[in-house]
Amino acid sequence: MSINELLVEWSYRTEKGYPDMGNPSDILILKEILENLGLPVDSILDELGEDSDEVTVNNDEIPQFSKADLIALINNTEMSSKEAEKLATTISDLHLTSPITDYLDNKSRESNIPEGEIDKFKKLLKELEIQKEFAEYIKNPVDLDINLRNFTDSISVIPSDKLKVLYRKIPTSIVSNVSVGPAEVLFSILFKNVRKRDSKGDLDIGDKNVEVKASIGNAKVAGNEKGSDAGAVVAKGYGRGSWSVTKNTGKFEEWIDELGMSEENTKDAKKVLTASLKWPLKTATIFDIFTNDENYNKETFISSFGDVLKRIYHKSSFIPNGDHFNLSSYFSDNDFNSKEFEIGIARELVDAYKTFEQFSGMLYLNRKGDMKYFDNDTIIQSIGTDIVISSFSDDVPRLLFKGHSI
C-alpha cells in the first residue's frame, strides 16, 4: 500500500470522511491500518504528528505523496531490521498488489461484494502463494462456461489445485440476512461474465440468472479434504434444523396415538421416531406396524398422515395432491413407497422455489469444484434420476447431483 493509498483507506474508514490527527478515533483507525501492514506505529505517528496539517485532509483534496516523500518518511523513522524487512516486502509486492487491489475494487463495486470478503480473498491469495499467478490472470480474465466439468478447466494461469483450495477456503457469510456462498464470491471475482445478484437468484452468468447450490467442507482442512457431499437445500420458508423440530411441528407422537393401535404397537411405533432414519422411512416403518394392527385401515392412515404433512408444509398447497405430489399414490395395502414420496415433496419444493427466485436454472457444485447445470426445463424431472435425495432429516430433503465424484 502506497502512502496515498494509505491516506485514501484511512479517509474512507473515518466517520467524517477525512482524517484528523486531533481525533482519537481517527488515530486508532490509523494504528490499525499500520499494524496490519506491519509498520512501526509509534514512530510513524510521531513523524506525522510533527506536521498534522500534512495529513488532515478534506473530501475535495487528498495530499499526493511522491517517492521522495516516502523515502524521507522512511529515513526519519526508527525501525528494526524485522520491521524494515516487512516494509521492503510490502513495497516490492506493489507491482502485484496494486493491480490486484484495483481489479478487486472494481469487482466489489460490480457485484456488491462486501469489503470484508475482498480482504479475506486477498489474504487467501497470499496464504496460497498465488498472488503472482492471479495478477497475471486478471490481465485477461475468461468467461465462465457452465457446461465445463470443473470451474477451473478454463483457467490455465493459476494452478487448478490451488484454485480448488481457494474455493473451499472462502467462508460462507451473511449479508443483509442473505447467505453468500464461496462460489458466488469466487466466480464473481474470477470470471468476466459473472456478476453476483442483489436480489433473486445467486449469479448472473452471461444472460442467465443462475441459482448456485453447493456443499463444501471445513475451510481448516480444505487443502486435503476428500469427504462426500451432504447435499444442497432447495426450498423456501421451511425448517432446516433438526428432526426434533419437524417431529414437533408435525405432531408425530400425537398422530401415532390417534391411529388407535394397541398399546404394544403404539409403543413400538413411537420407538421408531428415535431411530436413525430419514423420517419418510420412519413413516414407512410405522405404516408397516399399523398394517398388522387389528384396527388397520389404509384410508385412515393416509388421511391422518396428510394432516401431519399439512402441519409441516403449512405454507404450501400440494398436500394431499399437487403438480408433482399425490399422497395416495405412494401407498399400497401393505407398503408405503417412501422413495417416491420423497421425490414428490422435493419436486414440489423445488418448483415453488424456482418460481419464487425466478432463476433460469440451477448450478450444482461439489467441494472439488465439479459443476453440473440444469435449466428450468430439466431440473424438476431430474430429481429422482440425476439428482438424488441424500438426506431428509427435517422439513427439507437435501439434493445431490450423483454424477459428481467424491
Residues 6 or more apart whose Cβ sits within 8 Å of residue 283: 305, 336, 338, 341
Asked if the structure places residue 273 within a domain, the reply is: no
- Do 190 and 62 lie in one domain? The reply is no
- Do 84 and 126 lie in one domain? The reply is no
Asked if the structure places residue 188 within a domain, the reply is: yes
Predicted confidence (pLDDT) at residue 278 exceeds the cutoff of 60: yes
> 229 or 231: which carries more pLDDT confidence?
231
- Do 203 and 112 lie in one domain? The reply is yes
User: 319: exposed, middle or buried (C-beta count within 10 Å: 0-12, 13-18, 19+)?
Assistant: buried
- Do 167 and 39 lie in one domain? The reply is no
**pTM of whole model > 0.75?**
no
| Cβ 370 vs Cβ 392: under 8 Å | no
Domain C-terminal end among 92, 127, 150? 92
- Do 45 and 153 lie in one domain? The reply is no
Provide the b/e sequence for 358-367 (b: ≥16 CB within 10 Å): ebbbbbbbbb
Asked if the structure places residue 251 within a domain, the reply is: no
pLDDT digits (tens, 9 = 90+) for 381-392: 999 999 999 889
pLDDT digits (tens, 9 = 90+) for 146-175: 999 999 999 999 999 999 999 989 877 655
Q: State how many domains the chain has.
A: 2
Provide the 3-class DSSP secondary structure of residue 363.
Answer: strand
- Do 108 and 81 lie in one domain? The reply is no
Q: Which residues are bridge partners to 180 per DSSP? A: 173
Residues 6 or more apart whose Cβ sits within 8 Å of residue 213: 232, 233, 234, 362, 363, 364, 365, 399
- The length of the chain, given as a count of residues: 406
Q: Which residues are bridge partners to 331 per DSSP? A: 336
- Do 61 and 163 lie in one domain? The reply is no
Q: In 193-337, which residue ranges form alpha helices assigned H by DSSP?
A: 243-250, 252-258, 263-272, 279-291, 298-312
Asked if the structure places residue 134 within a domain, the reply is: yes
Q: Which whole number is the average pLDDT over 332-355?
A: 95
Domain C-terminal end among 51, 68, 92? 92
Asked if the structure places residue 19 within a domain, the reply is: yes
Asked if the structure places residue 301 within a domain, the reply is: no
- Do 228 and 364 lie in one domain? The reply is yes
Domain C-terminal end among 92, 120, 143? 92
Q: Which three cell numbers stand for residue 18?
A: 477525512
Distance of alpha carbon 320 from alpha carbon 303, whole angstroms: 9
Quote the domain boundaries for residue 21: 3-92
> 124 or 74: which carries more pLDDT confidence?
124
